[in-house]
A and B are shown apart, each in its own frame.
Chain A
């Protein structure tokens, strides 16, 4: 899916506080925001953007809509996604976080049935520096370049970008996967999108849960990935609450907290290394690793 092409964008939930700021920023960056949608607020304009009650009403002023950015409150997200899909929109970014998980499960089903790509919930959006801005990432912290960042955290991506900018490596695209535990598009999906992106020469995954990074292992085993992948996982050794994901672990832990949970971190780190993924210990190490990779490629 090509995100760099011209793109007609709507914002669902445009009258939520703080959204106007991002809308202005996106327009200044050249994003074609055709309209906003907010039930009951139709007829208004916000920062020169016309507001409609329904998504389908936007089609009275535009031939088609490519992308919807959803900022609706958590309990209205599922409905907003269904409305966007029924109007034919096939790219959706959900910025709202803390969507009830049963709603997330249902909206993912709707997306799969209609072949819609959903980023989020809890995403900060996508930026292609100096080209496309969809969402809340602050453009001034990024610089155009050749490394694709996939991140679960806005701030960690700023830290990494700052290091890359110092060595003039820059970013080809930055994708924020979303902070919610259930997300519409997965890490492997984005790995394969970036693997095919002609402007991306290397991929960096930035996250805070090793469990998510495990998906890279499967991706590298199943698919030909010819671009180098570097991964930085924050807090590998930090004392933290156990976060259990699968049903049997959850129930075992619930029945008796004395049942030990296997420390998966070392195992996953080793698997990642085995499939050729480099593990950076800190953001500054990412830029030195990349410099080395690019240097060896040119020589």
Chain B
């Protein structure tokens, strides 16, 4: 989870990284009660970077200016995001600006210290002068001094900057961070240091062992993106021209299914991944089937789809129940569409009356409904891929994909 600047600074304060006096404001009228002497900097608290360039940071000299500036900032969206909070901060005269960060490097499998003597908004200069020190043993202060020296610092700055790095490292370890960054770290004419802006990302798998997040006043966005398992999720594939939706029970299967469609020049409209296993769970299979129904309802109601391609790898027993769920779903929607249809009860694949299933499916479905192509592990004789019915079942993925494609291409 990414923290906002004022939340990151709260953590900085806890470990003694110097920050300016500041105050958060949720309403532009409250700015009259500001305790910090003017001039003051007002900063939009959004996740997106580059807010300074688009007007999300304003210098103000008095209350009247401040109210007007605060209103503007609250109404300014930065990459689609409006701030819930503005941070009002004292002004600081920085003579130089440094960049410091600690990042978890997944390739090296250890933290890396990063620093640049050219911090601030000029990203190109910053990156061109970026130095790094890999921490593949126990961290010690000399690692930080090594980084400071690589950055070209000298004199007292070597010691003062490395102490800040050590404090950042302390937060990094204790709070399970993926990333901690100070940019810029301001240096004034006396050589004093000040963390003027900062970012912190807490690793999402460690959030629940970090009680600190309960004291941070999370924004609506942060609360929404707090892991809240609902058992399934959308894949970020939104392709408006697509006619096929895929439903798979793992991300890898979704990728494989996408590949096979793409190799036939068809790109799916969207994808859903079911996160739970049918058998490996505390909850009942009933809940799993309820979820599948929910997913199908959402897909049929929101997308203009021709085919819903379901690829779920489960044992044969589970597969039967899953197929039954799909059949029930199709039947229930067709009941809504054609309430006068006489032939609809007792549709059960368990009763093995498959010809009847096939016949009734053919009759009952309105043409606007998407067709269902289902890939499940099943005995071979369960394959219903003749005629023009709305559920096609195959135990071979490649056959299922070919069927889905032929439906899309046929009309």
Binding site for B on A (CB under 8 A): 17-18, 21, 74-75, 98-102, 104-105, 108, 136, 138, 152-156, 158-159, 181-182, 208, 211, 234-241, 245-248, 250-252, 254-257, 259, 281-284
Q: Which residues of B contact A247 (CB under 8 A)?
A: 103-105, 108, 112, 114, 132
Q: Which residues of B contact A208 (CB under 8 A)?
A: 251-252, 255
Q: Which residues of B contact A282 (CB under 8 A)?
A: 256, 259-260, 263, 398
User: CB distance B205 to A74 under 8 Å?
Assistant: yes
Q: Which residues of B contact A284 (CB under 8 A)?
A: 398
Of B8-16, B185-193, B277-285, the stretch lying at the interface with chain A is B277-285
User: CB distance A238 to B101 under 8 Å?
Assistant: no
Q: List 30 A-B contacts (CB under 8 A).
A: A18-B280, A18-B282, A21-B280, A75-B209, A100-B176, A100-B205, A100-B209, A101-B106, A104-B109, A159-B253, A159-B313, A182-B106, A235-B258, A236-B259, A238-B259, A238-B262, A246-B105, A246-B106, A246-B107, A247-B105, A247-B108, A248-B114, A250-B105, A251-B101, A251-B114, A251-B181, A255-B123, A255-B183, A282-B263, A283-B256
A239-B236, A247-B112 known; A158 vs B103 contact (CB < 8 Å): no
CB distance from B228 to the nearest CB of A (A): 15
User: CB distance B179 to A245 under 8 Å?
Assistant: no
- B213 at interface, CB cutoff 8 A: no
User: CB distance B130 to A248 under 8 Å?
Assistant: yes
How many angstroms between the C-alpha atoms of A247 and B180 in the bound complex?
12
Tell me whether chain B's interface is mostly helix, strand or loop, or mixed. mixed
How many angstroms between the C-alpha atoms of A257 and B106 in the bound complex?
19
Cβ-closest 7 pairs across A and B = A235-B255, A153-B252, A247-B112, A234-B255, A100-B206, A247-B105, A247-B103
Residue in B130, B256, B263 whose CB lies within 8 Å of A159: B256
Q: Which residues of A contact B176 (CB under 8 A)?
A: 100-102
- B127 at interface, CB cutoff 8 A: yes
How many angstroms between the C-alpha atoms of A101 and B106 in the bound complex?
9
- B45 at interface, CB cutoff 8 A: no
User: CB distance A100 to B252 under 8 Å?
Assistant: no
User: CB distance B179 to A155 under 8 Å?
Assistant: no
CB distance from A149 to the nearest CB of B (A): 14
How many angstroms between the C-alpha atoms of A15 and B231 in the bound complex?
23
User: CB distance A281 to B259 under 8 Å?
Assistant: yes
How many angstroms between the C-alpha atoms of A248 and B397 in the bound complex?
40
Task: Name which residue of chain A comes closest to B209, CB basis.
Answer: A75
Task: Name which residue of chain B comes closest to A237, CB basis.
Answer: B262
User: CB distance A101 to B104 under 8 Å?
Assistant: yes
User: CB distance A250 to B179 under 8 Å?
Assistant: yes
Q: Which residues of A contact B181 (CB under 8 A)?
A: 251, 254
Task: Name which residue of chain A comes closest to B104, CB basis.
Answer: A101
How many angstroms between the C-alpha atoms of A208 and B257 in the bound complex?
12
- B289 at interface, CB cutoff 8 A: no
Q: Which of A21, A159, A284 has the most CB of B within 10 A?
A: A159
Task: Name which residue of chain A comes closest to B176, CB basis.
Answer: A100
Task: Name which residue of chain B comes closest to A156, CB basis.
Answer: B252
Q: Which residues of A contact B397 (CB under 8 A)?
A: 159, 283
A101-B104, A181-B106 known; A138 vs B315 contact (CB < 8 Å): yes
Q: Which residues of A contact B237 (CB under 8 A)?
A: 238-239
Q: Which residues of A contact B206 (CB under 8 A)?
A: 100, 102
User: CB distance A101 to B203 under 8 Å?
Assistant: yes
Given contacts A102-B173, A105-B110, A256-B123, 14 further A-B contacts (CB under 8 A): A21-B279, A105-B109, A155-B313, A235-B255, A237-B259, A238-B237, A239-B239, A241-B236, A248-B127, A251-B101, A251-B103, A251-B181, A255-B183, A256-B49
How many angstroms between the C-alpha atoms of A250 and B183 in the bound complex?
15
Q: Which residues of B contact A234 (CB under 8 A)?
A: 252, 255-256, 259
How many angstroms between the C-alpha atoms of A282 and B262 in the bound complex?
11
CB distance from B143 to the nearest CB of A (A): 14
Task: Name which residue of chain A comes closest to B116, CB basis.
Answer: A251
How many angstroms between the C-alpha atoms of A238 and B239 in the bound complex?
12
- B394 at interface, CB cutoff 8 A: no
How many angstroms between the C-alpha atoms of A98 and B199 in the bound complex?
23
Q: Which residues of A contact B256 (CB under 8 A)?
A: 156, 159, 234-235, 282-283
Q: Which residues of A contact B358 (CB under 8 A)?
A: none
How many angstroms between the C-alpha atoms of A168 and B182 in the bound complex?
59
Residue in A105, A156, A239 whose CB lies within 8 Å of B253: A156
- B162 at interface, CB cutoff 8 A: no
- B126 at interface, CB cutoff 8 A: yes
User: CB distance B282 to A155 under 8 Å?
Assistant: no
- B37 at interface, CB cutoff 8 A: no
A21-B279, A250-B179 known; A155 vs B252 contact (CB < 8 Å): yes
Q: Which residues of A contact B315 (CB under 8 A)?
A: 138
